[in-house]
Structure 1
């Protein structure tokens, strides 16, 4: 699909491409605000979100966003992904796809997902891109606009098609780096929780884990509380002992 770019858009496209090809932290939407802002401006979007589908658990994980508060990413993962009617239809697709090409707007507006989540966070029109390395889903991007904006259409598809190889490269690299930490595999834990278990068993402190995974110290502490509860163990020492027993 041919697309005509202004000088401003060419500059933004170059900066975004160069930024995405640098090593990124897992929380780059927050820690690289200039890059996130350039990507938003290039696509004229109000919101960018990222998640990763975990086929083992059947859930989206590692959510992050910019353009809205971080609470939006948290409540999506914790509650609203369960009633999300859009992502299951978009996940098998290998290219940028406007949401209203897979669901009728009237149908969406009747859902709890629209009325208690999308409308609350002022994101009612978007285009998603699910990225694959072979058959492995390495992550996704969700680009959305507030009500009253220009409808998402062929221009956004064309721009994201241009960016898709760079977005895939960045996401695949991040996926490969974070996945190397996963060697423990408790089936009752999420992939992020298993990452943290592995790092704890290797002797990493909570602050080191936070830095390595690009999340906050308090997020690590919250994950550990969930791990202790799910594995029915009281503390860190018991967790390390449990890992050593499992690997013996």
Structure 2
């Protein structure tokens, strides 16, 4: 049941634009590729930051980070380091609707953690609401909406707006995932991140560009590719590209 919410004319316009934008075909990196859409979504929800990841049940890790409102170093730091001490996401991952973070953890408790002091506070994101999306029992991704210190606390208005947007966000996330996996790059023996990098390699991107696009380090890209070469028994990049185009395109 969606709670009642009163919207101004400006907010109605933003809601319409966001809905229409999310219903268009989107790339996996749409938060960066469509800055106007990301900005409209932030304005509608009065947020400073939007982040996305995807939970990999097999590896037990969050992958494929992207963010708008903060630098790519925040996304990289989360997946490479701080998800290991994140006290919030494990409590929210099974929730099926938008959930303010302070409904699952006491602020005093959070402020005592390394996650808060070395990650959230460093990146000026100290209050938020998360939305984990499911297709049946399968996690297809999540959205993390956060505010900088000094802003109004997240509350029922944000819950109501995200409840309205949840079906559209779910559809967009599912479509992005199905598009990326149907492009001929998905190999079952590789992780989601490895498949993502293989797809970008097949599209002709260099390792440096892939690193910047995904918000990870150059050497992380190289490490993933080394694992890909080993798993696929592929000697080099050229052979990998030829295989991907032969099998998937």
State the TM-score, normalized to the length of structure 2: 0.85
> Separation in 2 of the partners of 1:145 and 1:168?
22
Structure 1 residues 164 and 47, CA, compared in 2 at 3 Å: closer, same or farther?
same
Long gaps (5+) in structure 1: 244-248
Deviation, structure 1 residue 240: 7.6
2:117 equivalent in structure 1: 115
Deviation string 1:73-100 (CA, Å, 9 cap, x unpaired) is: 0110000000000001001000000000
Runs of 4+ deviating beyond 2 Å: 194-200, 204-211, 215-224, 227-243
2:165 equivalent in structure 1: 163
Long gaps (5+) in structure 2: 245-249
Tell whether 2:210 aligns with 1:236: no
Deviation string 1:141-176 (CA, Å, 9 cap, x unpaired) is: 000000110000111000100111111110110111
SS in 2 for 1:172: helix
> Separation in 1 of the partners of 2:214 and 2:91?
35
2:33 equivalent in structure 1: 31
Deviation, structure 1 residue 241: 10
> Separation in 2 of the partners of 1:72 and 1:220?
12
Is 1:207–1:217's contact at 8 Å kept on the other side of the alignment?
no
SS in 2 for 1:207: coil
Q: How many residues align?
A: 236
> Separation in 1 of the partners of 2:127 and 2:216?
30
Deviation, structure 1 residue 238: 7.2
Deviation string 1:181-236 (CA, Å, 9 cap, x unpaired) is: 312414xxx31213444776xxx35339999x9x7499796565113443675633
Deviates more, 1:222-231 or 1:171-180: 222-231
1:191 equivalent in structure 2: 192
RMSD of aligned C-alpha atoms? 3.0
State the TM-score, normalized to the length of structure 1: 0.85
Is 2:66–2:215's contact at 8 Å kept on the other side of the alignment?
no
